[in-house]
Amino acid sequence: MKAVIETENLNIYYGQNHVIKDVSLRIPEKVAFAIMGPSGCGKSTLLRAFNRLLELNPVARVEGDVRLYGKSIYQMNPIEVRRRIGMVFQHPNPFPHMSIFDNVALGLKLNGLVKSKRELREIVEWALRKAALWDEVEGRLNAPASALSGGQQQRLCIARALAMKPDVLLMDEPTANLDPVATEKIESLIYELKRDYTIVIVTHSPAQAARVSDYVAFLYLGELVEVGKTEKIFEKPENEMTEKYLTGRVG
């Protein structure tokens, strides 16, 4: 399958702390790809390397390469990288006092991606529909984002990312702070979105990785232990450490 994101000999340091250790992996197009592992193993750090968010941390240092459709992201404008590789964080982070509409529209306006108010309205509606939120907010687009529930706020953040028409959507523990009902909605949304986008989700839950992903990578202490099709990893892992993690003996 065609690779969207590839890493080659990727090493990441926070000062002298070697956090990601020589990780090389290949993420196919239009799949849900889960990066799983216990807390503190480097999952979120690896995810932030994919769209150059790590550069915002002054003590972070990256060696190796990350490629988007074969081109090094370090040869691209970081703004373009972050537009094409969107990000949804663990804690829903809409702009609370800004309206639901303006939360989705902001990136489009700042990047000059729309030519008219009509086009802006069309893309905002499209993004909210894609995020399975339109039916719940259609009559209150001018209400502040803070009026939404936690699960709705997270879907609003997904809509905000989708409005930029990315190739890839990164999700860092997107359901960690949500109740089971809201979690199920996000997981169902991931299943729908992977038809059109590559979804990369970080999770500490093997059960969630099993439910939502087509491919899974197991990261432990900054090292890529095993990667492959989800069904194969869960049914017949090749590495003993993977089996221990999946059976709850490590984590």
Which CATH number goes with the domain that contains 236?
3.40.50.300
- Ordered DSSP codes for the chain: --EEEEEEEEEEEETTEEEEEEEEEEEESSSEEEEE--TTSSHHHHHHHTTTGGGGSTTEEEEEEEEETTEEGGGS-HHHHHHHEEEE-SS----TTSBHHHHHHHHHHHTT--SSHHHHHHHHHHHHHHTT-HHHHGGGTTSBGGGS-HHHHHHHHHHHHHTT--SEEEEESTTTTS-HHHHHHHHHHHHHHTTTSEEEEEES-HHHHHHH-SEEEEEETTEEEEEEEHHHHHHS-SSHHHHHHHTTS--
pLDDT digits (tens, 9 = 90+) for 175-208: 998 999 999 999 999 999 999 999 999 998 999 9
Phi, then psi, of 217 in degrees rounded to 5? -120, 135
Q: Is residue 251 part of a domain?
A: no
The candidate with the shortest Cα–Cα distance to 94, out of 64, 129, 133, 58, is 133
Q: Is residue 164 part of a domain?
A: yes
* pLDDT score at 95: 92
Q: Is residue 25 part of a domain?
A: no
Q: What is the count of structural domains for the chain?
A: 1
Q: Is residue 196 part of a domain?
A: yes
Average pLDDT, the chain: 94
Domain containing 104: what range? Answer: 3-18+31-246
Any idea which of 5-19, 45-59, 102-116 has the lowest mean pLDDT? 102-116
pLDDT digits (tens, 9 = 90+) for 113-143: 888 999 999 999 999 999 999 999 999 999 9
Alpha-carbon gap, residue 233 to 217, rounded angstroms: 9
pLDDT digits (tens, 9 = 90+) for 37-74: 998 899 999 999 999 999 999 999 999 999 999 999 99
* pLDDT score at 1: 74
Q: Is residue 48 part of a domain?
A: yes
Q: Is residue 136 part of a domain?
A: yes
